[in-house]
Amino acid sequence: MIPYGRHDLRPADHQAVLEVLESGWLTGGPAVQAFEQDLASVCAAPRVVTCSNGTTALHLVAEAIDAPPGAWWICTPSTFVASIQAGIYSGYRPVFVDADPETGLICLESLAGLLEAARDHEAVVAAVVAVDLNGHCVSINDLADLLDLYAVPIVRDAAHSLGAVDADGLAVGGNDRVLATALSFHPVKLIAAGEGGALVGHDDEFMDRVKHLRSHAMTRQPGTPSDYRVDAVGFNYRLSDLHAALGRSQLARIEDKLEKRRALAAVYQEEFSAVADLRMVLPSEGTLSAWHLMSVLVDPERRWDLIAALRDAGIGAAHHYPAAHLQPVYSELLPGLEGTCPGAEAYCASQITLPLFEQLTPQEVKRVTQTLKNLL
Ligand SMILES: Cc1ncc(COP(=O)(O)O)c(C=O)c1O
């Protein structure tokens, strides 16, 4: 079976983890600091705080924003539920904004309507979560131009898009109009650390707060051997040195990884160029995608049958993601959501994930595309 994604471990990765095992620092040591520095350089941002995974990264941002309970946490439904759960953990109300049916990315017209509604209801908006679905960039400057009118911060969910480049030439994480950018190092992501996450930011005060909350909001008392003060309900969301060393070793190969994914995506594009019953989900003009997932859109009536048939043919097709606002957890919390995000619903109803990872060969891509074309 060709899987839809697979991490790539090299001897250098094994060596990096072994060095940590022998160093005496399993957590809170130099590997974490070194990984944070390297991420800051890749993301062209002054501050990085690593943490235990992408979900805890988003939760740390939600906590550090410190908006009142019930404040709106606005997010598209065409994402993994973690983007939404993080706000709920902090007592915010999930509010779903529609997405473009061709890309699953946030729809600014729909957002403008929600922001007006929030103003009419005198609701506080904690943040808008901009998800770079599939590794394709949200247009951050257009989003920031809109949000500036309402003084609402942007949280960028870049679990899929580390290494992508926005239309203005800035690396994901590099735009200081974003309050914080969340990364994930889950094995199926570009950089696999086992589990792991990070926040990238430009605002020192905010990033200091995130860092404080990551480790029980604890300040050591200078001049005492082990006394400390805790001034908020914080968390243990730290990344271990073992995970950091693995992540850092992988990060050293990021350009190679991105290049391979982009080359394979070009083969997919070429192979699918004349197929009437299928649309490939593409990044917008002028941006460089990180190509996390290879998403295509098909007739929703045939979607599950096509996934099953691809699997029967040895191709690990998958689906990312079922529309989040239709999950029972949210429909019980906020009934009547079906039909409220037609663009996102159309996207999610027709999406199929095809294999894309660095070790995949162009020949295997052609096998995938030919199989799907025959099925169509
Ligand atoms: C869009 C998105 N956001 C957040 C996350 C959460 O990341 P993690 O699995 O590291 O907690 C994921 C993970 O798949 C994701 O796809």
The string of DSSP codes covering 183-249 is: EE--TTSSS--SS-EEEEES-HHHHHHHHHHHBTTEEE-TTSSS-EEE-S---B-PPBHHHHHHHHH
Task: Choose among 78, 128, 82: nearest CA to 295.
Answer: 78
Give which of 340, 357, 351 is closest to 96, Cα–Cα: 340
Q: Is 157 in the pocket of ligand 1 (CB under 6 A)?
A: yes
Domains 11-251 and 254-375 agree in fold:
no
159 lines ligand 1 (CB under 6 A): yes
Pocket test for ligand 1, best of 4, 7, 50, 55 (most atoms within 8 A of CB): 55
Averaged over successive runs of 10 residues, the pLDDT of the chain (376 residues) comes to: 96 98 95 98 98 98 98 98 98 97 98 98 98 98 98 98 97 98 96 97 98 96 91 97 98 98 98 95 97 98 98 98 95 86 98 98 98 97
- Specify the ligand 1 atom closest to the Cα of 131: 1
Q: How far is CA 19 from the centre of its chain?
A: 29
Q: What angle do CA 207, 243, 16 make, to 5 degrees?
A: 120
- CA proximity to 261, closest of 175, 195, 163: 163
Q: Tell me the C-alpha distance between 187 and 91, whole Å.
A: 29
- CB 83 less than 6 A from any atom of ligand 1: yes
- Measured in Å, residue 354 CA sits from the centre of ligand 1 at 18
11-251 maps to which CATH number? 3.40.640.10
Sign, CA torsion 218/220/226/230? negative
Q: What is the model's pLDDT at position 112? A: 98
Please count the CA atoms within 13 angstroms of the CA of 209 that sit on its side-chain side. 17
Global pTM value: 0.98
pLDDT of 333? 80
Determine whether the shortest distance from the Cβ of 55 to ligand 1 is under 6 A.
yes
- Give the per-residue pLDDT at 225: 86
- Ligand 1 contacts CB of residue 237 (under 6 A): no
Longest dimension (CA), the chain: 72
In whole angstroms, what is the distance from residue 272 CA to residue 372 CA? 10
Domain limits, the chain: 11-251, 254-375
Q: For position 19, what pLDDT does the model report? A: 97
pLDDT for 332:
80
Q: Is 131 in the pocket of ligand 1 (CB under 6 A)?
A: yes
- Length of the chain equals 376
78 lines ligand 1 (CB under 6 A): no
Q: Are 178 and 65 in contact (CB under 8 A)?
A: no
> What pLDDT is attached to residue 191?
96
Give 348's contacts (C-beta < 8 A, 6+ positions apart): 77, 78, 104, 321, 322, 323
Ligand 1: which atom is nearest the Cα of residue 79?
Answer: 1
What CATH topology corresponds to 254-375?
Aspartate Aminotransferase, domain 1 (3.90.1150)
Whether 115 and 358 have beta carbons less than 8 Å apart is answered as: no
Ligand 1, closest atom to CA 197? 10
Cβ–ligand 1 contact at 82 (below 6 Å): yes
